[in-house]
Structure 1
Amino acid sequence: MIDCVIIDDEQHAIDLLVQHISQVHFLRIAGTATNPVKGLQMVADLKPGLVFLDVQMPHLTGIEMLKLISKDSHIILTTAYKEYALEGFEHAVVDYLLKPVQFLRFLKAVNRLWTIHNSLRPASEQDHYVFVKTEQKGKLLKIDSRRITYIEGLSNYAIIHMDDKKKIITYLKLKELSESLSARGFVRIHKSFIISLSHLTAVEGNMVRILNEEQPIAIGDAYKKDFFDFINAKMLSIPPDSTIG
C-alpha cells in the first residue's frame, strides 16, 4: 500500500484525485492540503510514499516545493500547463499529469510507481524460490531467484541465465515472467530481456552491465522511461542538471 498526500490550491482538483485514488487498490489517502506551506509540513510529518503536487500555487510553487520534499517521497506533478513538464522531470518526478486529470492517464502514472515500489521492496525468505516448466514434459524445476542474472526471451520460450553460467529453458513468455518476478527485484528493460537488479553492475548510456557477463544488454525505447525512473529514485542525490535517461 502506498500512502498519498495531495497538495493543490483548488479543492475540486483534490476531489478528482481523491476519486481516482479510491479506485486503485494499492493507493491510500493520507492527507490533503490547499495551502502549500501546510502541505509541506504534512509531507514532513506523514512521510507519504507519493505526493500529488500542483505546480502553480500562491506563496510556494510546486517546483519550489520539489527542492524541499524528501527524496523518500515520490512526486507526481499536476498542472494545466505543459511547459512545466521538462522542469519537473529535471527533478526526477515520477510523472506529469495535465488537468483535468483523466483516470486512464492517472492509472498509467501510478502503475509506473507501483513497478518502482515493488522493485524496491526486499523479497521475504519464502519468496526466493520459483518453479518453472522445463523442456521435459511434466517436469518443474525449482530455482533460487537470487541466482538468476537475467532472462532472455525467444518467441514462445525463455532462457533463464544463472550466476554459475547455467542456462535453463522454460516455456513461458517474458510478459508472464516479468509479472511474476517484479516483486523479487527484476525489471524488464527490453522486449527480449528481463534483468536482476541485484546483478546489475552499471548503466552505460542506453546499455546495462550484468555481473559476470561480457556483453552489455540494450535498454529498449519502450522501457527506457520506467527503468530510468527507477534508477533516478535510487540515486543518493540528484542535482537539477544531472538526472539521467
Structure 2
Amino acid sequence: MLTCVVVDDEPPAIKILTNYIRDTPYLSLTSSTTDILQAQKLLAEQPIDVLFLDIQMPKLTGLQFLRLYEGKTKVILTTAYPQHALESYEFSNVIDYLVKPISFERFQKSVSKALKLVNVETRPPAAAEPDMSFLLVKTEHKGKLRRIDYSDVAYVEGMLNYVIIRTVKGDKIITYMSMGDMEKNLPAHQFARVHRSYIVSLKTIDAIDGNELLLKPGFRIPVGGKYKEPFMQAFLRSPNE
C-alpha cells in the first residue's frame, strides 16, 4: 500500500485525484490540501510514499517547494502547462508529471511506476551483475569487431538493414543490426529511442527545441510524435551528469 498526499490550490483538481486514489486498491490517501505550506508540515510529521504536487501554486510554486524539500517521497507533478515539465529534471525524486486534464488511464500508468520504484527500493539487494560499459559490434570490414564505449556514443541512426553509430567525436561506425536489436543492447538509463530512426544518448542532450534535440557535439535529431512522452520520462529520470 502506498500512502499519498495531494497538494493543489484548485479543489476540483484535488477531487479528481482523490477519487482516482480511492479507486486504486494499492493507494491510500493520507491527506489533501490547497496550502503548500501545510503540505510541508504533513511531510515532516510522517513518511509519505507519493506526493501529487501542482506546479502553479500561490505563496510557493511546486518547483520552489522541491528546492527546499529534502525528503525521499516520490513526487508526481501535476500541471496545466507541460512546458514546465522540463524544469523538473533537476529533482531526483520527481518520477513523473501529469498534464491536466488528467485521465484515469494516465494516472494509473504514473502510480504503477511509483509502486515499482518503491518496491525496488524496499527489496533486499540482489547479487551484483557485471557492469557492462561498452558495445562490441561487427563493422563493415569482414571479420572485424569493434569495441565502442557507451560514453562515446552520441546517437544511433537506423537505415534499411544496418545502423550508423555516431560518436561524440564525430566518428561514423556502420554495423549490420536492426534498430530493435540495437535498442535492446543499449542501457535504458543512458539511451532513449526518440524516433523510428534514432536512438540518442541522454547525457549528450544539450537542449530540447520543440520537436528537435540539440546534442552537445552539435547534432540535431528529430523527435517522433509517439516517442515524445516515453522519451521525456527517460530524460527526467536520467542522472544529471
Aligned to 1:75: 76
Q: What is the rounded CA distance, in whole Å, between the counterparts of 2:236 and 2:29 in structure 1? A: 26
State the TM-score, normalizing by the size of structure 1: 0.55
Counterparts of residues 184-199 of structure 1 (less than 5 Å): 184-199=189-204
TM-score of the two chains, using structure 2 as the length reference:
0.56
* Identity rate, percent: 23
- Structural RMSD (CA): 4.6
Residue aligned with 2:177, SS: coil
1:70 Cα offset (Å): 1.2
Question: Of the candidates 178, 184, 207, which is equivalent to residue 202 of structure 1?
Answer: 207
Quote the residue 1:127 is aligned against.
Answer: 132
Out of 148, 171, 180, the position equivalent to 1:175 is 180
**Residue segments in structure 2 that go unaligned for 5+ positions in a row:** 7-13, 86-95, 117-128
Would you say the 8 A contact 1:4–1:51 is kept in 2? no
The 5 A counterparts of 1:1-245 are 5-7=3-5, 13-19=20-26, 32-36=29-33, 40-43=40-43, 46=47, 51-52=51-52, 67=62, 69-70=65-66, 74-77=75-78, 86-87=80-81, 89=82, 91-92=84-85, 94-96=97-99, 101-102=104-105, 106-107=108-109, 126-135=131-140, 141-213=146-218, 215-228=219-232
Q: Spell out, residue by residue over 1:83-115, the C-alpha distance to the aligned partner (whole angstroms, 9 max, x if none).
A: xx635x36536124878834x862378569x9x
State whether residues 159 and 168 of structure 1, in contact with CA within 8 Å, keep that contact through their aligned partners in structure 2.
yes
CA distance in 2, matches of 1:12, 1:163: 48
The number of equivalent residue pairs is: 196
Structure-1 separation of matches of 2:103 and 2:169:
52
3-state SS of the aligned residue for 2:186? helix
The unaligned stretches of length 5 or more in structure 1 are: 22-30, 56-60, 78-84, 115-123, 237-245
Quick one: which amino acid aligns to residue 80 of structure 2? L
Give 1:219 deviation, angstroms.
Answer: 2.0
Q: CA deviation at 1:74?
A: 3.7
Q: Structure 1 residues 126 and 135 mapped into 2: Cα distance closer, same or farther (>3 Å)?
A: same
Change beyond 3 A, Cα 1:110–1:13: closer
In the TM superposition, residue 163 of structure 1 has moved relative to its aligned partner by: 2.9
C-alpha separation between the residues in 1 aligned to 2:110 and 2:32?
27
**8 Å Cα contact 2:139-2:174 kept in structure 1:** yes
